[in-house]
């Protein structure tokens, strides 16, 4: 499965990505706000890739690499987790390597994956949970048009600390509206066997 956008494409992670993934993910901010361990060694990155692809085959979790169209460089990852099989909703998660942040890549990648989830996976709602002190992620959610639905107290224990989370939702019907106004030019390519 490859999802192509304007400046990025999303593709499944491959074992050969482990070194680059470890380089990108071995970072305090990522550790603080995600479940990526620190240090994120090449060995850990390999396990992460193998587990991701296993869960993807079961249709439970889609974790894809974010790749620059121009250079083919892997710069981050994002994914969707369908907590209960058959549910109409999935949780969106993402992280970006430090040198590539602030260029709009995660927002673009999320738009591509959300459009894919609504049009190809038949989902009706995307959920995004982010820590109350994660300003960059909150800005991404705002740009995507996520609506705040509540605050989850002591939602996760990460990096030695309990964290409250903001719970945001995006509905398919709202997305059609947002998409029209963003005039995103997105091409979805599903390639057999990937």
Ligand X SMILES: CC(C)(COP(=O)(O)OP(=O)(O)OC[C@H]1O[C@@H](n2cnc3c(N)ncnc32)[C@H](O)[C@@H]1OP(=O)(O)O)[C@@H](O)C(=O)NCCC(=O)NCCS
Which residues lie below 8 Å from residue 149, measured CB to CB, with a gap of 6+?
Answer: 167, 168, 169
Q: Give whichever of 26 and 192 is closer to ligand X, judged by the CB atom.
A: 26
Asked if 91 is part of the footprint of ligand X (rule: CB under 6 A), the reply reads no
Stretch near ligand X under the rule CB under 6 A, chosen from 4-12, 25-33, 154-162, 170-178? 25-33
Q: Give whichever of 71 and 191 is closer to ligand X, judged by the CB atom.
A: 71
Do residues 74 and 108 lie in contact, with contact meaning Cβ atoms separated by under 8 Å?
no
Residue 66: CB minimum distance to ligand X, A: 9
Question: What is d(CA 184, CA 194) in angstroms, rounded to the nearest whole number?
Answer: 25
Residue 62: which of 99, 18, 114 has the closest Cα? 114
* DSSP assignment of 9-78: EEEE--GGGHHHHHHHH--HHHHHHSS--SS--HHHHHHHHHHHHHHHHTTSEEEEEEEETTT--EEEEE
Asked if 77 is part of the footprint of ligand X (rule: CB under 6 A), the reply reads no
Residue 133 in tokens = 């002190």
Q: Among residues 30, 74, 90, 114, which is the contact residue for ligand X, using CB under 6 A?
A: 30
Strand partners, 3: 10, 188
Residue 134: CB minimum distance to ligand X, A: 5
String of contacts with ligand X for each residue 141-170, x by CB under 6 A: ------------------------------
Q: Give whichever of 3 and 130 is closer to ligand X, judged by the CB atom.
A: 130
Asked if 139 is part of the footprint of ligand X (rule: CB under 6 A), the reply reads yes
Burial class (CB in 10 A: 0-12, 13-18, 19+), 137: buried
Asked if 28 is part of the footprint of ligand X (rule: CB under 6 A), the reply reads no
Stretch near ligand X under the rule CB under 6 A, chosen from 11-19, 40-48, 115-123, 131-139? 131-139
Asked if 33 is part of the footprint of ligand X (rule: CB under 6 A), the reply reads yes
| Residues that contact ligand X, how many (by CB under 6 A) | 21
CB atoms within 10 A of CB 57: 9
Q: Give the residues lining the site for ligand X (CB under 6 A).
A: 29-30, 33-34, 94-96, 101-107, 130, 134-137, 139-140
């Amino acid at each position: 499965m490859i999802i192509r956008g304007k400046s990025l494409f999303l593709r499944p992670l491959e074992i050969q990505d482990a070194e680059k993934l470890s380089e990108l993910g071995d970072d305090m901010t990522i550790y603080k706000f995600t479940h990526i361990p620190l240090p994120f060694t090449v060995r850990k990155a390999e396990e992460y890739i193998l587990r991701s692809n296993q869960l993807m085959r079961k249709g439970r979790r889609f974790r894809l690499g974010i790749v620059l169209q121009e250079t083919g460089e892997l710069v981050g990852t994002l994914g969707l987790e369908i907590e209960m099989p058959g549910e109409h909703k999935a949780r969106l998660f993402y992280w970006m390597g430090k040198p590539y942040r602030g260029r709009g890549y995660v927002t673009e990648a999320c738009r591509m994956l959300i459009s894919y989830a609504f049009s190809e996976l038949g989902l009706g709602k995307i959920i995004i949970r982010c820590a109350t002190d994660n300003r960059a992620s909150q800005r991404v959610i705002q740009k995507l048009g996520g609506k705040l639905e509540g605050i989850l107290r002591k939602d996760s224990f990460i990096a030695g600390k309990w964290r409250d989370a903001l719970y945001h939702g995006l509905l398919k019907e709202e997305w059609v509206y947002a998409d029209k106004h963003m005039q995103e030019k997105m091409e979805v390519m599903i390639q057999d066997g990937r």
